[in-house]
Amino acid sequence: MKYNAYNQPIGDAVSPFENPKKPVIEILEGKYSKLERLNMRHRDDLFEVLCDPENDSNWTYLPNEPIHDKQEFNTLIHHYIDSDDPYFFAIVDKTTDKALGLMSLLRINTKASSIEVGHIHYSPLLKRTRIATEVQYLLAKYVFESLGYRRYEWKCDSLNAPSKRAAVRLGFTHEGTFRQALVYKGRNRDTDWFSMLDKEWPNIKQHYEYWLDEKNFNSDGTQIQRLSIT
C-alpha cells in the first residue's frame, strides 16, 4: 500500500500511456472460428439460428424481445451494422462458413482505457462448443494485445446464472452487484459486474490456449481438461 504526504492510502502510480484504439477490424480468425464484422451476408444465417420460436428463451436477458419476422430482423441487423458502439461481430464456424451467433464490443471508453463485451447471443449450435470459447479468447486477445485496453468488462442481469458462470469460467472476476441499475422490458435489472485486467491477461491467455489445443479433446470432440482459470 502506498501513502501520500498526508499519510492517506493512494493507488499505484500509472505510467503515461497511449489511449487505446477503437475497434476497426473486419475479421479475427482462430482454429475453429472467425469473428467477422457484422454485415448483411450474415443476416440469413443468423435469422435461421436465432429467430426460431423454439429458441425464444435465449432472448430473455437481451435488450430485444424475440423476433420471428424476417423484415423486423433485417431492420435490427441494419441497426447493428450501422453502430460503432456497440461494434458487432458475427460468430462464424470455419468448417461451414455459417454465422451461428453475435457478440459485440461496447461502452468503448478510450480515456479510461476500458471496454466491455456484450450483446452475446449464442444459438443452440454454439453452446458448449470449442467455438463458443475460442471467440471469447479471440476478442480478449484483440482487446488487450491489439487495441491496448487496461480493463475488459462483462456485465449481465444478476438473475442470468448461465452468463455469470460463463464470465467466471472465462477468467473474469466478479466485482459486485449494481442494484436497480436499469429497467428493461418493463422489469427491474440488478446488474452484476465482472472484469479482466491487462496484467491478468498473460496468465488467462495461457489457460485459454492450453484448453483450445487439439490435444485437449478426444476423437469425439469432448474435452479432456476443463477450462479452469485461477
- Residue 97, pLDDT > 80, answer yes
Q: Work out whether the CA dihedral 72, 125, 172, 23 comes out positive or negative.
A: negative
pLDDT at 159: 98
86: cis peptide before it, omega within 30°? yes
Longest CA–CA span in the chain (Å) reads 64
- Residue 168, pLDDT > 90, answer yes
pLDDT at 82: 97
Average pLDDT of span 46-52: 97
CA–CA separation, 90 and 34 (whole Å)? 8
Q: What does pLDDT average to over the chain? A: 96
Non-local (6+) Cβ contacts of 163 within 8 A are: 61, 120, 154, 156, 157
Nearest residue to 207 (alpha-carbon basis) of 174, 168, 176 = 168
Task: Decide: helix, strand or coil at residue 65.
Answer: coil
pLDDT at 128: 86
- Residue 209, pLDDT > 80, answer yes
Burial 104-132 (b: 16+ CB within 10 A, else e): bbbebeeeebbbbbbbbbbbebbeebbbb
Average pLDDT of span 137-146: 98
CA–CA separation, 110 and 24 (whole Å)? 14
Average pLDDT of span 158-175: 98
pLDDT at 174: 98
Nearest residue to 88 (alpha-carbon basis) of 99, 30, 147, 182 = 99
pLDDT at 228: 87
CA–CA separation, 118 and 160 (whole Å)? 13
pLDDT band at 56 (very low <50, low <70, confident <90, very high): very high
Domains of the chain, CATH where assigned = 17-216 (3.40.630.30)
Percent of the chain with pLDDT over 70: 100
CA angle 224, 227, 228 (to 5 degrees): 125
Residue 185 per-residue DSSP state: T
Q: Which pLDDT tens digit goes with each residue over 10-46?
A: 999 888 888 999 999 999 999 999 999 999 999 999 9
- Residue 230, pLDDT > 80, answer no
Q: Which pLDDT tens digit goes with each residue over 67-83?
A: 999 999 999 999 999 99
Cα distances (Å, whole numbers) of residue 200 to 117, 120, 204 = 17, 23, 6
Q: Which three cell numbers stand for residue 8?
A: 492517506
Percent of the chain with pLDDT over 90: 93
Alpha carbon 50 to its chain centroid, in Å, reads 17
pLDDT band at 167 (very low <50, low <70, confident <90, very high): very high
Backbone phi, psi, residue 154, to 5°: -135, 125
- Residue 48, pLDDT > 80, answer yes
